[in-house]
Structure 1
Amino acid sequence: MAGYPKKDKNGTYYFVLEAGTDSYGKRKRIKRRGFKKISEAKGAMAELMLEIQKGNLVFENKLSVGDYLEYWLENYAVTNLKPKTFAEYKKIIKTHLHPSLGHIPLRELKPIELQNYYREKLQSLSAQTVTHHHRVLSKALNDAIDWEFINKNVTKGAKPPKPVKQEMKTLNVEQLNELLKIAKEKTPVYFPVIYAAAHTGMRKSELMGLSWDNVDFATGKVYIRQTITEANGKYFFNTIPKNEKPRGVRLTLELSKLLQRLKAESDHRDEILGASFNPHNLVFCNTKGSIMAPSEITRALKRCLSAANLPDIRFHDLRHSHATILLKENVHPKIVSARLGHSKIQVTMDTYSHLTDSIEGIAVDHLNGLLE
C-alpha cells in the first residue's frame, strides 16, 4: 500500500493513497484534500492506512448510500465545512437522505430514484429546500468519485425542482414607523433589534452577533465583525477573516440614542449581576442575557405586524424595506450597496431592479425642475 502527499494549487496539501484493487480488478485510489500542513496530510494518510489494514474501510458493492454518507460526514464534512454548514448537512442526511435512500447500494443508485425522492419530498418541503438536498448529495457523490467508490455522479442525470423566487415584500416609511411604534408597546425586549434592522438594513445574524465592542458612539457607527447563526438548536459564532475589513454601518440619530440607553442599562446590569449575565457582551440579548433565538425574533415581529394590521413580511424584508426607502429617496446605489454589505454594486442593482422605473421617475422630476 503506497501513498504520497502533495501541495495543491491553492497552497493546501492533499494525499493520494494506492489501496490495491477492488473485486473488478480496478485500482483503488483514495484522495483527500484540504490539509493546511504537509504533516497533517501525512498524519491523515497514516490513519487511513491503519483503517484499511483493520478492515474498517468498505470498498465493495455492498457499501450502501447510507453507509457512504456516514463515511463522508466523518471523513470530509466534519473537517472541511464550517460548523454551521456541517450541522445543516448532517441534519439533511440523517433526517431525509438516509431514511429514504440509505438502503440502496451506492453503485446501484439511479437518477430515477433521486427523481422519486424529489417528488416525495416536495409534498412537505419547498422546492428550494429539496434543491438544497440535491446539492448536498451531489457534493458527496463527487467526492465518492474522487475516492473511487463509484465511476459517475448520478445526480447529474436527475432533475431537481426549480426553486420559486420568493416575492419581495416591503413596508413604506409610514408603515415602518407604525410598526416600530407598535413594537415599542407590544414587545419591549425585541423592539430594539427590530428598530435596528429598520434603521440599518443589517441581517438578522449580524444583529444577533453585534457586541458592544463593535459599537463606536464617537464615530456613530457599528462594525460587523461576527455573526451568530443557528442550526439544529446550536449557535455558531462566525467571525470575519482577519485580513478582511469589517463593514461599518453609520447609525441614524434616533438609533444612536436608543443604543446609548441600552448601553447604560447593560452597564447597570453588569454592576449588579456581573458579566456572567451577558457573557458574550451582546447588544441584543433576551431577558436572561442569552442569545436571542432567531425564531423568537421572528415571532415578535409577526405579533407586531398583526397588531398594527400591516402586511405579513419576513424579518429579512426589513432589510429590503430599508434599501427600498433609500433608493426611492435617490440615494446612490453604491452607498446603499456598501450599507447592505453587498460584495458588488451589481448585486444591489439586480436585487432591486424592480425599482428602476420608480427611481427614473424621481430623476425626471428633478430634471423637470431644473431644465427649461
Structure 2
Amino acid sequence: MASIRKRGDTFTITAYMGYDEQGRQRKKTTTYRPPDGVTPGKAEKLAKQYAAVWEEKIRGYVALDENRTLSELAEWYYSTVAPSVLKAKTLENYKGEIERHVLPYIGREKLKNISPPMLDRLFSDLQKGGNLETHYRLKDKTLFDGIKRETFYEKAGVSRSILFHVLSGKTTRRDNAEKIAAALDMKLEQAFDDVGGKGLTGATVNKIKLNLSAIFTAAVKKEIMRRNPCKLATPPKVDTKPAEYLDEKQCHIFLQALHEQDDFQLEVICNVLLATGMRSGELCALHWEDINLETGLLYIQHTLVRMHGGFHRDTPKTSGSERRIVLPQYIIDLLQQHKKRQAVERFKAGTAWKVPDAVFTNGAGNYLIGANISVRIKKICKQSGLPDIHLHSLRHTHASLLINSNVTARVIADRLGHSTTKTTLDTYSHVFAESEAKAMQAIDMALFRKAE
C-alpha cells in the first residue's frame, strides 16, 4: 500500500514497487493537492482515494522512470539502443537534429509531463522559426582571397560541402560559422552576419517527429514510459513540392548542352545518372571495381558519407539499396573514354591523387561532392532555358521516363533501390497520375473518338 505524507497544502504519495537487479528498492512518487476549502479530514480522505486509484493505475509498470528528463532519455537511447539499430552516420544525423531542435526546447521536461499538446507546440514553432537555431551568412567572399579552399575546410573542421555552401552565399549554423571564422583568425561577427532564425520545412519537422517517436517507443518497450506521446501529436504539415524532373524533350536539350561544354566528366556523370537513377551518394562512392565494362553491369554496394571530418564509403542504408544495373552500350562507351582520360590525369598527379580507385573525382583526385555537381548542372540548365533542377532531379527524371514507358512500379522500385513499391508510388504519384491520364487519352482517341 502506498504511503501518504502531508506536506503543507499537498500530500506526497509514494508507492514501493519491489527491488531491481542491483537490490535497490523501486518506488514511484506523485503529489496530490486537494480542492480548496475542504476540511483537513476530508482532504486526507481524498488523498487516500487518489493514492489507491493512482497505485492501481501504475501496477505492472515496475520499471517506470518517468521522472527522468527527456535529455537523459535521449542520452540513454543514443548510447545504448540506437547503435544496434542505426548506421553510424544515420545515428549522428538523427542525434544532431534532436539536440539542435528538440532538447533546447523541452529537454529539461520530465517524461511524465511531456504531452501531445506540448509536442504540437514544438512542431509548430519549428516550422515557424526553426526554434532556437540562428543562421549566419558570410559577409564577403574576398575574405578567402589567397586561401586554398581545398585544404581550408580541413583546417576549419567543417565539410567541403558546408564550405561550398557558405561561399555560394547560403546560410549556415552558428557552430559552422564559428569554426570558419576561427580558421580565418577572425571573430564571428567580423566574418559573418546574423540573419536570425530560419523555419524548418514540414518534411524536416516530420522527420524530427519520427526520430523523437523512436526514442519514446524504445522507452515504452523498456517500461521506462507508459505511452508514446508522439502517437497522439498532430503530424506536421508536409509542404514538400513534387519531385522535379525533365521530360523527354528537355532531356535531349540537356544532354546536347552537356556535350557542348568542356567538362567531359560532368557529361559522363549526368548521362550515368539519367541512365541508372542512382542516388548522388551512390554515384560519388563508385569505384572502378563496381563497374564491369565488359559485361555492362554496374554494382551499387556503397554510398559516400562524411564522418569525423572526412569522407568514406559505407554500405547503403537498406539491403534493398544494394543492387545491380545493366548499362546501355552508350554509357559503357562513355565510361571507357572517361577511364582513359582519368588515367592520364592520375599519372600526372602521381601520389598526390587522393583516391586512385574512385570513378569520379575532383581535381585533386579526391571524392566528389554532390553539391558541387548540382551547381554546375543548375548553370547549364539556366543557360539552356531549362527548369532549375539539381543533381537529385536526374534520379527523378530517370524514374519519370520509366513510368511514362509503362514500366511496372515493382521494376522501378528495384532499379531505384526502394525497399517497397509504396515508396515509389508515394514519391512519384504525380508522374503516375500524368501517365494514367495519357493512357486514358490514348484509349479515348483509339476507340471512342469518331473520325471527323
TM-score with structure 1 length normalisation?
0.74
CA distance in 2, matches of 1:166, 1:69: 32
Q: Could you tell me how far 1:116 is from its partner in structure 2?
A: 0.9
**8 Å contact from structure 1 (residues 179, 308) kept in 2:** yes
- Secondary structure of the equivalent of 1:190? helix
AA aligned to 1:285 is T
> How many residues are treated as equivalent by the alignment?
326
CA 1:335–1:206: 2 relative to 1, 3 Å: same
Match of 2:315 among 201, 222, 239: 239
Question: What TM-score do you get using the length of structure 2 for normalisation?
Answer: 0.62
- Secondary structure of 1:22's aligned partner: strand
Distance 1:341 1:151, change over 3 A: closer
Aligned to 1:49: none
Q: Work out which of the residue numbers 214, 227, 234 in structure 2 matches 1:139.
A: 214
**CA-CA distance at 1:230 after TM superposition:** 4.7
For 2:70, the equivalent position in structure 1 comes to 65
TM superposition shift of 1:119: 0.9
Match status 1:85 vs 2:90: yes
Which of residues 244, 260, 266 is equivalent to 2:342? 266
Measure the CA separation in 1 of the matches of 2:321 and 2:277: 19
* Aligned-partner residue type, residue 357 of structure 1: A
Instruction: Determine the structure 1 residue equivalent to 2:432.
Output: 353
Matches within 5 A, 1:300-315: 300-315=376-391
Amino acid at match of 2:77: W
The AA in structure 2 aligned to 1:286 is N
Match for residue 192 of structure 1 among 257, 268, 285: 268
Tell me how far apart the structure 1 counterparts of residues 317 and 102 of structure 2 sit (CA, whole Å): 33
The alignment partner of 2:102 has SS state of: helix
Q: Describe the superposition over 1:308-366 as per-residue Cα deviations: whole angstroms up to 9, x where unpaired.
A: 11112242221222233344345566655543344566765663422123245557889
Residue-by-residue CA offset, 1:238-297 (whole Å, 9 max, x unaligned):
326999895222222322121111111233344444476243622122212222212222
Name the counterpart of 1:101: 106
Once residues 231 and 117 of structure 1 are traced to their aligned partners in structure 2, the CA distance between those partners, rounded to angstroms, is 29
**1:168 pairs with one of 233, 243, 266:** 243
- SS where residue 299 of structure 2 aligns? strand
- CA deviation map 1:169-220 (0-9, x unaligned): 3212331122233335165553322221122222222212221001111112
For the structure 1 residues 289 and 364, does the alpha-carbon distance in structure 2 shift closer, same or farther, using more than 3 Å as the test?
farther
Secondary structure at the aligned position of 2:121 is classed as: helix
- Where in structure 2 are the equivalents of 1:1-372 lying within 5 Å? 20-24=25-29, 28-29=62-63, 61=67, 63-123=68-128, 124-184=199-259, 185=261, 187-230=263-306, 235=311, 237-239=313-315, 247-274=323-350, 277-279=353-355, 281-329=357-405, 336-343=412-419, 351=428, 352-354=431-433, 355-359=435-439, 361=441
Aligned letter for 2:295?
Answer: T
Does the 8 Å CA contact 2:273/2:395 hold for their aligned counterparts? yes
Structure index of larger Rg: 2
Paired letter, 2:294: A
When the two chains are superposed, the root-mean-square deviation of aligned CA atoms in Å is: 3.5
Give the unaligned 5+ runs of structure 2. 1-18, 30-54, 129-198
SS in structure 1 at match of 2:225: coil
CA distance in 2, matches of 1:357, 1:242: 33
Task: Write the deviation string for residues 221-245 of structure 1: whole angstroms up to 9, x where unpaired.
Answer: 2111222245796645332699989
**Distance change (3 Å), C-alpha of 1:365 and 1:209:** farther
User: Offset at 1:80?
Assistant: 3.0
Q: Secondary structure at the match of 2:314?
A: strand
Q: 1:227 to 1:110 in 2, by over 3 A?
A: same
CA distance in 1, matches of 2:340, 2:312: 27
Partner amino acid, structure 2, of 1:156: K
Partner AA of 1:82 in structure 2: K
Residues 141, 345 of structure 1: CA spacing in aligned structure 2 closer, same or farther, 3 A cutoff? Answer: closer
The residue that corresponds to 2:146 in the other structure is none
CA distance in 1, matches of 2:238, 2:272: 31
What amino acid is the match of 1:177? Answer: H
Amino acid at match of 1:218: E
Maintained 8 Å contact 2:66/2:110: no
Distance (whole Å) between structure 2 residues aligned to residue 111 and residue 97 of structure 1: 14
Distance 1:345 1:146 in 2: 30
Identify if the C-alpha distance between structure 1 residues 173 and 364 changes in structure 2 by more than 3 Å, giving closer, same or farther: same
Identity %: 25
Change in CA separation of 1:241 and 1:89 when aligned onto 2, cut-off 3 Å: closer
Aligned mates of 1:182, 1:341 — CA distance in 2: 29
Distance 1:243 1:207, change over 3 A: closer
Structure 1: runs of 5+ lacking an equivalent: 4-16, 31-58
Helix, strand or coil at the partner of 1:248: strand
Structure 2 vs 1, CA of residues 70 and 168 (structure 1 numbering), >3 Å: closer, same or farther? Answer: same
| Aligned equivalents of 1:171, 1:141: Cα separation in 2 | 41
